[in-house]
Amino acid sequence: MPEVLSLPVFPAYVVGSLSPAPQKLLYDRKSAAYVLSISTRSLDWLVSQKQLATRRLGKKVMITHGELVRFARADHFHLTQAPSP
66 located within any domain? yes
17 located within any domain? no
Q: What is the pLDDT of residue 76?
A: 82
Structural domain containing residue 28: 22-75
Single pTM value for the model: 0.67
3 located within any domain? no
Task: Please provide the DSSP assignment of the chain as one string.
Answer: -PPPP-PPPPPHHHHTSS-PPPPPSEEEHHHHHHHHTS-HHHHHHHHHTTSS--EEETTEEEEEHHHHHHHHHS--GGGTSPPP-
Q: pLDDT tens digit string along 11-70?
A: 555 555 555 656 889 999 999 999 999 999 999 999 999 999 999 999 999 999 999 999
Return the CATH number at 50: 1.10.1660
Number of domains in the chain: 1
